[in-house]
Chains A and B, each alone.
Chain A
Amino acid sequence: MLEYLSAAIASFASIEVLLALTVGVVGGMVIGIIPGLGPSVGIALLLPISFSMSPTAALVMMTAMYTTGVYGGSITAVLCHTPGTAASAATTMDGYELTKKGRGMEAISVVTVASVVGGIIGAVCLILFAPALGKISLMFSCLEYFLVACFGLLVVSGLTGDNQAKGFFSALLGLLIGCVGMDSINGVSRFTFGQLWLEDGLDSTPILIGLFSISQVLVLVDKLLRGSSSTIVDDPAAGLKGKRWEKGNGKKLAPTMMRSSVIGAFVGFIPAAGCSIAAWISYSIAKQTSKNPEEFGKGSIVGIAASEASNNAACGGALIPLFTLGIPGSPVTAILYGALLMHGLQPGSGLFTGGKAVTTYAIFLGFLFANVLMGIIGLTMAKQMARICLVPNSVLVPIIVALACIGTYALSNNMMEVVIMLAFGLIGYLMKIFEFEPAPLVLGVVLADILESNFRRTLIMAAPKGGLIPYFFSRPVAIIIVLVILGFALAPFIVKAVQKKKA
């Protein structure tokens, strides 16, 4: 492997590769910042451009865009309550609170540092352990996907807001919305009312944009009309408070970032689980292990670091099954899979030995460098970016709405997506008024299909092996996940009981 790595480094002497890396990083950040346009749209746009490039340059550009696109989505999540993808939704909770207090620059810095740390750890896992971890990812199958999705949903619904019942209600509503469309096992159309465009169900991205950005925009407009505030920051006269980096932040955040990165890389390499579950699991573990859990949701930098380190580490993790097995676990990696094929890099063991290994490791190194470059650009720009929240709302609101419309339309060149987004903007506004959290609803929509179809596939697979229960006990990974879920759900009660006994 070392000889491949040293040969791979040499390929970064080429102007083409360096240029591709820069384009990928900058392009990813920009495209992530626009609501609706996430890494998947960005990489799809790069496909035709990369046609005439060398395989190394093309794939470096696209994988760079993957990780920076997730990062870019978090910047707007923090500044304008507009997460680019569901993976950044967890960051919104604490990041936006900080921004409102005028500490946007600090929030951006934490997002950047955590994303870079997560991204680098994900990349290192990819470089060092890809073939080995690829084999482990084969131990996960439908039953395990189902259980991981259960875990994600449990975590997010039990976590957000003050009222857990409302959280669970949101999650269930999300699952119900996720039922719309053709059922992926029998092909029965549900809740489609004969409409062709509903057959694939409601895409989660317009719902995410509607519930987070548009509803927030409505809140801003409401404030503007009542004359109580004209910028996102509560006190614009005071300008930007807070330093770029408080002393002691590094020490405070390091354990969270390390733990979240490892969780992210691990959850990321489970196909179908992906960045968003990773972010929420890390966030909730950070909250449970925190000495000040009450800070979470009110502007905790630990919370930001947890979800950010995790979602970028998950990007590196997600590349593992893609390169080693040709299993893309998400829409983004599915496009990358196509790009690999297009450049004659058929995923599999062939990519890790022989002539193609140099290209593979050059791509991995490019992914690593992309994370570093992203950090440099992000930290340099933090102050400028943070000033977005000083822009008067009368200017900012139309821009956000226009970008959100363009972004959602670009998803599938379909105006209905824009209508769905606006409708969910209204729903999100009502949810805000009645204090329902939007995050569980979005995750419910994202996970509904994963939950249902994998459970039903499990039933089919278990039938020849004596049914669900014997099948379950024959799968050690599934048993471990169930134990983790149980531990997670019961831990707060056990801690309480122990404390009572002590007292």
Chain B
Amino acid sequence: MKKMFALVSACALALSLTACSGGGSAQAPNNNNAGKGDSFPNETITLVCPFSAGGGTDIGARNMATALSADLGVNVVVENQTGSGGWVAWTDLITGDYDDGYTIGLINHNFVFGELDPENPRDYNLDDVQVLCNQVVDYDVLAIRANETRFTDIDSFIEYAKSNPILISAQATGITDGESTKAEWFNKTFGTQITVIPVDGASDSRGMFLAGDTDILFGSISDVNTAYQNGEMKLLCQFAEERSEFIPEVPTVEEATGEKLVAFAARGYFYPNGVPADKVEFMTNALLKSMERSDYIENMAALGLELDNTSGEAYAELLNSQMETRLSIWG
């Protein structure tokens, strides 16, 4: 009996320890670099990912944590604090006491457009954070199924969509959502009749599209590239300034139709406003340096993501860049 109890409690203890440490077991830190150069980080650094484990943002953050940990010689862990499309984590980071620079947040476009959300207007915008640097830029594309017969290129699609209802899926129906914004832009610019079905995530969108429940797919290059290369989807256009190196044969929407729309997702890192300027500078440089590591570049390339290292003011501008477009589209 006593043995049993000892076993159970030992098990419990061991497990709670794994549970506590597991979330952060990003890679054993190599301590060679500790103590050399600037002494800023000497404790564990936390990257707060506002989305769930296994998502694109999370995997990007984990790659970054590994690289950063190897560079700085301290543990870097990813903590997933999910909820309300990221706003639980963002609100906590902005309102809480995280001024010591050991907690870094992840930021994306959802943050920028949060204050425009008609149902749940958010209280914070880019003025409430100090952005450090970007990590990834992922341009959007318009995809159709490989066996689609009703339309084969952008012109025939627009022609078809003018007189027939078209269904797409998106994660929200308003200005905060990139897919809905593109649908609205098509409707306003070309007089198409695109209706949006709200779904929970990008993978739901792909499922409904493959099943034929929706007619076209607005997705990002990283989402659709494999299916495109396998011949399961065709890409009609990309919403980029110039053609992406991943899909150089697909025209931009401007080349295809003469009308310009740039749409992309960008995600990177930020500090709360209270973190002192020297730490902001230190961490920005540390992140930029980590992004030059060859193992990091290799791992990120496997994900099919376009790397980007815009930092500081320029990164804030990048995040803000689609604001005007969206405001004008939605009037």
Q: Give me the interface of A with B, judged by CB distance under 8 Å.
A: 30-31, 34, 37, 41, 43-45, 47-49, 51-52, 138-142, 182, 184-189, 196-197, 199-200, 271, 321, 325-328, 331, 334-339, 341-344, 346-350, 384, 387-388, 390-391, 395, 399, 402-403, 406, 410, 412-414, 453, 457, 460-461, 463-464
Contacts and interface: CB of A to CB of B under 8 A. Distances in A.
A337 B174 CA distance: 28
B59 A48 contact: no
A184 B197 CA distance: 11
Contacts of A200: 82-84, 88
Contacts of B119: 182, 186-189
A461 B212 CA distance: 11
Contact of A141 (B117, B174, B208): B208
Given A391-B4, A457-B197, A339 B83 contact: no
7 contacts: A47-B53, A140-B211, A344-B302, A388-B8, A413-B79, A414-B83, A463-B195
A326 B59 contact: no
Interface string B67-92: 00000000000111111100110010
Interface of B: 1, 4-5, 8-9, 11-12, 15-16, 18-19, 22-27, 52-56, 58-59, 62, 65-66, 78-84, 87-88, 91, 117, 119-120, 165, 167, 172-174, 195, 197-201, 203-204, 206-208, 210-213, 225-227, 229-230, 232, 299, 302-304
Contacts of B22: 45, 49
B83 A460 contact: no
A457 B198 contact: yes
Contact of B211 (A139, A182, A348, A453): A139
A338 B58 contact: yes
A36 to B, nearest CB: 10
Contacts of A37: 15, 19
B210 A48 contact: no
Nearest to B172: A187
A27 to B, nearest CB: 9
A399 to B, nearest CB: 6
B15 A31 contact: yes
Contacts of A47: 53-54, 58, 62
Contacts, number: 189
A223 B91 CA distance: 45
A460 B199 CA distance: 12
A468 B91 CA distance: 41
A392 B16 CA distance: 22
Contacts of B198: 184-186, 453, 457
Nearest to B176: A187
Contacts of B172: 187
Contacts of A336: 54
The 3 closest A-B pairs by CB, nearest first: A338-B54, A335-B54, A346-B226
A44 B84 CA distance: 20
Contact of A44 (B5, B18, B54, B120): B54
Nearest to B214: A461
A146 to B, nearest CB: 13
A326 B206 contact: yes
Contacts of A199: 83-84, 87-88, 120
Nearest to B48: A413
A387 B299 CA distance: 47
B52 A334 contact: yes
A348 B27 contact: no
Given A141-B211, A335-B53, A336-B54, A196 B83 contact: yes
Nearest to A343: B302
Contacts of A341: 56, 59, 303
A97 B307 CA distance: 57
A51 B66 contact: yes
B83 A412 contact: yes
A51 B27 contact: yes
Given A350-B230, A464-B165, A338 B53 contact: yes
A402 B12 contact: yes
A353 to B, nearest CB: 9
Contacts of A321: 207
Contacts of B24: 48
A395 B53 contact: no
Contact of B52 (A139, A182, A331): A331
A338 B213 CA distance: 24
A447 to B, nearest CB: 15
Contacts of A197: 83, 88
A270 to B, nearest CB: 11
Nearest to A411: B82
A348 B81 contact: no
A350 B24 CA distance: 33
A457 B195 contact: no
A378 B174 CA distance: 51
A365 to B, nearest CB: 23
A364 B233 CA distance: 26
Given A338-B54, A349-B232, A464-B167, A271 B207 contact: yes
Nearest to B7: A384
B229 to A, nearest CB: 8
A193 to B, nearest CB: 13
A325 B207 CA distance: 7
A48 B227 contact: no
A338 B211 contact: no
Given A339-B54, A350-B230, A196 B88 contact: yes
A266 B95 CA distance: 47
Contact of B82 (A402, A412, A464): A412
Contact of B120 (A189, A343, A461): A189
Nearest to B18: A45
Contact of A342 (B83, B88, B230, B303): B303
Contacts of B213: 141-142, 461
Given A45-B22, A348-B232, A460 B8 contact: no
Nearest to B166: A464
Contact of A34 (B15, B53, B66, B304): B15
Nearest to B81: A413
